[in-house]
Structure 1
Amino acid sequence: MLSPSTIDSINFLAKQINIYFGLFILILGIIGGLINIIIFTTLKTFRKTSCAFYLMMASIFNVGELISGAFTTILNIGFDINPTELSYLCKIRMFLVQWFGLLSVTSMCLASIDQFLLVKYQYLTSLKLASSFITIACLIWSIHGVFFVLFCNSIDGVCSITNTTFDMYITYFHFPILLGFLPLTIMILCSFPAFINARKLASRQINIIRLSCDRQLTAMTLSQIAFIVITTIPFITTYIFLLNMNSTDKEYNARMYLVHTITTYVYYTTYANSFYIYCFVSKRFRKQFIYVLINVHLQRYNQQRNRLNNNQVQPTKVGTSIEQIPKKNDDITLY
């Protein structure tokens, strides 16, 4: 049996993981998510594609989940700052965590279905339908979140569910099914046909630009789905195991708390890794990132700064031909 000092050491290690690993995931995830949003909204190629729309919305929801979920957990466990000490803050936090989390996995499920339908049922992958699906999902999960507002309260500074029936629903359906088994099943079942469809795209007689974009988005989507499966299964497995654990052994509880902390933050990497996965699997995305960062936004910033610094317009030199005046390149096929 472990000594009290050893148990304290395990709890201390879990706290350090909350602080350092948690902050690492939080910072990288927010930065990567914001970059994704900028890229997807800047490039015309992505603005016209339903799959890119799903990935952009997933990035937005991921940032929201990291702030409402991971950040508040780090404050509470890592720094002993309880952001949900008041009941109304507890209700808001619980609503946002479930809302962003469910919308994130819904967006990825829709992206996988979009890639599944890409070859034979392309008319079902329009941007208008994608916007409608996301809007419907937002309404459904908002209604679902009302129950969190009703049945969550802060008791003695601890944010918890006060309704026994709803607590059973969260324990046996919300986490293992809505956030685990159901979306993972949809993603996996749609990913294999989508992978086969991606190999067929090369033989299709379509515009080369559209072909490159479709294959790029397929690679990005399937790679992220694979990572979601890898990081979600340990968390769900540990969560289900903890549900059935009824032990008064402090040594055992300390070890399980440490395992749960590790798998929880591994799970949070699901919401933090998309930008880095896209850069790793897609050379085209890396070029697009550099183009958006330097050729679009940095150049725009420099132009605005120069405009503020110059109080008068410099006249064009006499004799300068039209060919010598730089022109804006609006026809960049890669973007």
Structure 2
Amino acid sequence: MATIDTLNYISRQLNIYLGLFMFIFGLIGSCWNILIFRHYSLRLSSYCTYILILSIASLIQLLFDLSDRIIDQGFSIHWTIYNIAWCKLRYYIAQCTSLIALSCLVYSSIDRFFSTCHQIKWRRLNSVYIAKQICLFTILFWMIITIPTLIYVKPIQLTTDHCVCQSSSLIWSKIIMYFFNLCCYGIFPWVFMSLFGFLTWKNTRQIRNHRVGVISTMNLTRMARFDDQLASMLFLQIIICIISSIPFCIQNIYYCLTQTISTNLYRQAQENLCFQIAYLIFYFNYISTFYSNYLSSDIFRHVSKEVLMNLCKKREDLSREITMINHQENNHKQLDKRKYNIFTI
């Protein structure tokens, strides 16, 4: 049987090695996602707008939350608890960005459903302008809703040798536990993403039979392929989100049921190890977007290579290519308006 010191040692090593691995790959993936979804070929897609905001929020989440967890839980450097301003700011930013990232993931699933609907009134909601407005509203909404975190969160001395950064208000602690941790991080994303993911899958099976007949075969193939690629990216991300959130939600439910039960030090070490594992698995929500997209989409891989090639080019050559591309896009838009009006993907 493992001893208390052994369990605590395993918890620290997991946060150091697995945490650092996730942090490095998460930073690379988030930065790469930001570069890719700002690419001219994806800039006019509302789905890509949501994923771009998700990637920015995930990057900030990793910098403020996962890095602090590695330092605090892994290396046992509790520098956050000695600075009340940083304790409040770090907790607030981590909470906001995690909620924004999951909200954008839910919006992307709803957006894919709208883009595959046959009714024009629903397809009109699939626009970059609306996506930007929704993202702005979501950012402001979560920033306002989580303001009590700035007020109540502070370093709290639990024992003589154990101090943590958490809420000093019992009511706000209950709201965080039951509303944010269980509902916003678990139940709500599961329900909405599963529902709209299923509806999108149902629509994509019928979409090719409802395409406009005047579109050429080449354009039809390209549009259908692009739709399928975005749907594949979304479905894999939904699966990863649900799987990575289940241990975290189970751990929080267990904590709610057993928080009034007194336990010995060995039981506490076991629970702490399970909590660290569940928490680290939950971070796959923020580090897996780039890698799941890369595995599931040929278009995404192609754009990734273009971005890499553009980074290696001289600024003058890149500016010249962008000018030519924008000129070609304007010509194509004028030509498309004259021929036929097609709903945007």
Bin the TM-score by the shorter chain. 0.7 to 0.9
In the TM superposition, what is the alpha-carbon distance from 1:250 to its structure 2 partner? Answer: 2.4
Q: Distance in 2 between matches of 1:89 and 1:265?
A: 22
Corresponding residue to 2:187 among 175, 181, 190: 181
Q: Distance in 2 between matches of 1:154 and 1:259?
A: 23
Counterpart secondary structure, 2:166: strand
Report the equivalent of 2:58. 62
Report the equivalent of 1:222. 235
In the TM superposition, what is the alpha-carbon distance from 1:302 to its structure 2 partner? Answer: 9.2
Contact kept in structure 2, 1:247 and 1:253, CA below 8 Å:
no
Report the equivalent of 2:168. 162
Q: TM-score, normalised by structure 2?
A: 0.83
Report the equivalent of 1:146. 147
Report the equivalent of 2:126. 125
Give per-residue Cα distances to partners, 1:153-190, cap 9 Å, x unaligned: 12345211111111111122111011111121111111
Give per-residue Cα distances to partners, 1:68-103, cap 9 Å, x unaligned: 111111111111222422111111011101100110
Report the equivalent of 1:26. 23
Report the equivalent of 1:311. none
Report the equivalent of 1:12. 9
Q: Distance in 2 between matches of 1:217 and 1:300?
A: 31
Q: How many equivalent residue pairs? A: 306
In the TM superposition, what is the alpha-carbon distance from 1:329 to its structure 2 partner? Answer: 7.5
In the TM superposition, what is the alpha-carbon distance from 1:108 to its structure 2 partner? Answer: 0.6
Unaligned runs of 5+ in 1: 305-325
1:260 aligns with 2:236: no
1:112 aligns with 2:126: no
Range with greater deviation from structure 2 (212-221 or 121-130)? 212-221
Corresponding residue to 1:232 among 232, 241, 245: 245
Counterpart secondary structure, 2:116: coil
Q: Aligned AA for 1:271?
A: Y
Contact kept in structure 1, 2:226 and 2:299, CA below 8 Å:
no
Counterpart secondary structure, 2:146: helix
Q: Distance in 1 between matches of 2:10 and 2:194?
A: 35
Q: Aligned AA for 2:230?
A: L
Q: Distance in 1 between matches of 2:35 and 2:79?
A: 30
1:293 aligns with 2:293: no
Report the equivalent of 1:101. 98
Q: Aligned AA for 2:19?
A: G
Q: Aligned AA for 1:200?
A: Q
In the TM superposition, what is the alpha-carbon distance from 1:286 to its structure 2 partner? Answer: 1.1
Contact kept in structure 2, 1:224 and 1:274, CA below 8 Å:
yes
In the TM superposition, what is the alpha-carbon distance from 1:303 to its structure 2 partner? Answer: 5.4
Contact kept in structure 2, 1:50 and 1:127, CA below 8 Å:
yes
Q: TM-score, normalised by structure 1?
A: 0.86
Contact kept in structure 2, 1:57 and 1:107, CA below 8 Å:
yes
Q: Which has the larger radius of gyration?
A: 1
Contact kept in structure 1, 2:23 and 2:62, CA below 8 Å:
yes
Q: Distance in 2 between matches of 1:145 and 1:11?
A: 32
Unaligned runs of 5+ in 2: 158-162, 333-345
Q: Distance in 2 between matches of 1:256 and 1:82?
A: 20
In the TM superposition, what is the alpha-carbon distance from 1:195 to its structure 2 partner? Answer: 1.2
Contact kept in structure 1, 2:156 and 2:166, CA below 8 Å:
yes
Range with greater deviation from structure 2 (63-72 or 156-165)? 156-165
Q: Distance in 2 between matches of 1:158 and 1:130?
A: 38
Q: Distance in 2 between matches of 1:236 and 1:31?
A: 27
Q: Distance in 2 between matches of 1:140 and 1:178?
A: 14
What percentage of residue pairs aligned between the two structures are identical? 28
